[in-house]
Amino acid sequence: MTETREELEAKLQAASDSMSRRLTAMEDEVSLPAVARLSNVASSGALKKAAVAVGIGLAVGLLFGGGGDSGSKKRFKRAHTTLDEWREDLADSIAEFLRDGDSPDAAARRAARSQPPLVLDNESGGGARKGLLTLAFAYLVRTGLNLTSRELLKRMIDRNDEPQAS
């Protein structure tokens, strides 16, 4: 019972067609509303609008929130977050004024006046400051959780108020 190449190809083609028909039938049976909705969202331009909104939000956050220490130097010295940093900068300033020819007393006074205020944060992470974008995101998350829990409680109360079918 040896089969020819044409017979094997015909059997394989028939099996492939049968599998394709079954797969098409399964796809028709199983409706994928999430995929359909996603394709509708993509075609309506909502994704582009959301991307533009995210981009604008990031730009505003970087403008008003800082964006870290990278980039060019700031015009003003930043407030110190640890006592060690403040002490080191004060010692450097005093040494600089002493090199300029000031007396020790005058150098200490000028250095103390030129230093930004000492600000000690109790936050972990070295007292990192939160940007506007971070605060807005935290507010949105809190509001979302509040509304979700309120809606959940409302549904539970409404479900308990319905008469029991017995």
pLDDT digits (tens, 9 = 90+) for 89-138: 888 888 988 998 988 888 888 888 888 777 665 554 444 566 788 888 88
What six digits make up the tokens of 160? 């308990």
Per-residue pLDDT tens over the stretch 6-46 = 888 888 899 989 988 888 877 776 656 666 666 666 666 76
pTM: 0.29
* pLDDT at residue 140 tops 80: yes
Backbone angles phi, psi at 101, to 5 degrees: 105, 10
pLDDT of residue 41: 60
User: 76 falls in which pLDDT band (50, 70, 90)?
Assistant: very low
| In a domain? residue 115 | yes
Has residue 160 been placed in a domain?
no
Q: Are 111 and 93 in contact (CB under 8 A)?
A: yes
In a domain, 51, yes or no: no
Query: Based on C-alpha coordinates, what's the Rg of the chain?
Result: 34
Give a yes or no: residue 48 inside a domain: no
b/e burial code for range 115-133 (CB count within 10 A of at least 16 → b): eeeeeeeeeeeeeeeebeb
Quote the domain boundaries for residue 96. 77-120
Number of separate domains in the chain = 1
Q: How confident is the model at residue 75 (pLDDT cuts 50, 70, 90)?
A: very low
Does 2 have pLDDT greater than 50? yes
* Residue partners of 145: CB distance under 8 A and separation at least 6: none
| Average pLDDT for the chain | 75
